[in-house]
């Protein structure tokens, strides 16, 4: 059965989609069978991974129950992707029936055994889409940038995690806090890192040893339709993401035997 990881932070601009895309491609590069789920109405993860999201069935139809999961999964460069588009922005209003928190979990249940890892990219909000991701997932990774406002977002997110853990998904675990756009020379970076470490302790988690250094390649790779590993194999960010993938796999309960493709 797949290990499911949701990338989450209610604050935008912290590198959620870049992190999700890098994990998907990095795990696939190591021979694992990976499914990427875009749960953000902006559809950026699908774009980064090179799939069609405008004239295609998406996670919206899957959660609405009008399309089987086998029909919404697209394959590109060895990775399977369930895309999203702007239709998903109607979720808060449309998904109002009892049990709406379980729509994603129910939708992906038939294919969980087909993959080694499932990576979910969440929207920059604590809404019904985010709750669906938390209910469906095993682990959370919380990206942040070394800024005070980013840190405040994690404190607010902790309340939602505890609510979901208490009511819907008692097994959810925060795998770690990931520092993006990292520059250890800045005093603010070091100060925020220390505060993030304290917040992590309160959430029964830690800061990843790997920090993702700032690199223009992170922003440029999606425009070329290829992963950062292909676009800029020698950049600092590429080295950091590879190290992050290794760190995640090495954590307790995260190692899996790769399925035959």
How confident is the model over 148-171, as pLDDT tens digits? 877 777 877 888 899 999 999 999
pLDDT at 147: 85
Q: What phi and psi values does residue 116 have, to the nearest 5 degrees?
A: -85, -45
Can you say whether residue 99 is alpha, beta or left, with left for phi > 0 and alpha for psi between -120 and 50 degrees? Answer: left
Which is higher by pLDDT, 260 or 246?
246
Q: Is residue 161 part of a domain?
A: yes
Q: How many CA atoms lie within 13 A of 150 on its CB side?
A: 24
**Residue span of the structural domain in which 78 resides:** 3-250
Average of per-residue pLDDT across 57-75:
95
| CATH number reported for the structural domain that contains residue 173 in this entry | 3.40.50.300
Q: 67-110: per-residue pLDDT in tens? A: 999 999 999 988 999 999 999 999 988 998 899 999 999 999 99
**Whole-number mean pLDDT of the chain?**
91
Q: Is residue 162 part of a domain?
A: yes
pLDDT at 65: 94
What is the rounded distance in angstroms from the CA atom of residue 39 to the CA atom of residue 122? 5
Q: Which residue has the tokens 């009511």?
A: 167
Q: What is the dihedral of CA 95, 99, 104, 108, to 10 degrees?
A: -140
Q: What is the dihedral of CA 243, 149, 5, 56, to 10 degrees?
A: -110
pLDDT at 199: 87
Q: Is residue 124 part of a domain?
A: yes
pTM for this entry:
0.94
Q: What phi and psi values does residue 197 have, to the nearest 5 degrees?
A: -65, -40
pLDDT at 256: 77
Q: What is the dihedral of CA 226, 58, 79, 205, to 10 degrees?
A: 90
Q: Is residue 258 part of a domain?
A: no
What is the rounded distance in angstroms from the CA atom of residue 87 to the CA atom of residue 124? 16
Q: Is residue 28 part of a domain?
A: yes
Residue 146 has pLDDT above 70, yes or no: yes
pLDDT band with cut points at 50, 70 and 90 for residue 254? confident
Average of per-residue pLDDT across 113-130:
94
Using a pLDDT cut of 70, give the percent of the chain over it: 98
pLDDT at 261: 53
Q: 1-28: per-residue pLDDT in tens? A: 899 999 999 888 899 999 999 999 999 9
pLDDT at 151: 78
Token reading at 27: 């795990």
Q: Is residue 156 part of a domain?
A: yes
Which is higher by pLDDT, 227 or 5?
5
Average of per-residue pLDDT across 228-242:
94
Q: Is residue 255 part of a domain?
A: no
Average of per-residue pLDDT across 169-192:
90
Number of domains in the chain: 1
pLDDT at 232: 93
pLDDT at 35: 98
Which is higher by pLDDT, 114 or 189?
114
Q: Which residue has the tokens 């491609």?
A: 25
Return the closest-CA partner of residue 49 out of 71, 28, 70.
28
pLDDT band with cut points at 50, 70 and 90 for residue 260? low
Q: Is residue 257 part of a domain?
A: no
pLDDT at 258: 75
pLDDT at 156: 79
Residue 112 has pLDDT above 80, yes or no: yes
pLDDT band with cut points at 50, 70 and 90 for residue 176? very high
């Amino acid at each position: 059965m797949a290990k499911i990881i949701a990338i989450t932070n209610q604050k935008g601009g912290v590198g959620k989609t870049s992190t999700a895309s890098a994990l998907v491609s990095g795990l696939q590069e190591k021979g694992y069978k990976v499914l990427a789920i875009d749960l953000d109405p902006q559809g950026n993860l699908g774009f980064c991974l090179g799939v069609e999201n405008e004239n295609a069935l998406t996670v919206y139809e899957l959660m609405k129950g009008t399309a089987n999961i086998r029909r919404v999964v697209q394959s590109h460069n060895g990775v399977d992707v369930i895309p999203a588009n702007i239709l998903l922005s109607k979720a808060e209003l449309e998904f109002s029936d009892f049990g709406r928190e379980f729509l994603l979990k129910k939708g992906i249940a038939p294919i969980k055994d087909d993959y080694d890892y499932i990576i979910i990219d969440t929207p920059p909000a604590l809404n019904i889409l985010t709750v669906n991701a938390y209910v469906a997932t095993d682990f959370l990774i919380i990206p942040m940038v070394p800024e005070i406002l980013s840190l405040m977002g994690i404190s607010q997110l902790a309340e939602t995690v505890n609510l979901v853990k208490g009511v819907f998904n008692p097994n959810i675990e925060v795998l770690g806090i990931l520092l993006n756009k990292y520059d250890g020379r800045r005093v603010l970076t070091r100060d925020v890192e220390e505060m993030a470490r304290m917040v992590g302790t309160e959430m029964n988690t830690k800061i990843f040893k790997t920090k993702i250094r700032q690199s223009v390649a992170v922003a440029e790779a999606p425009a070329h339709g290829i992963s950062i590993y292909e676009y800029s194999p020698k950049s600092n960010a590429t080295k950091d993401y590879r190290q992050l993938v290794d760190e995640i796999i090495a954590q307790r309960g995260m190692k899996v035997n790769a399925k035959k493709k």
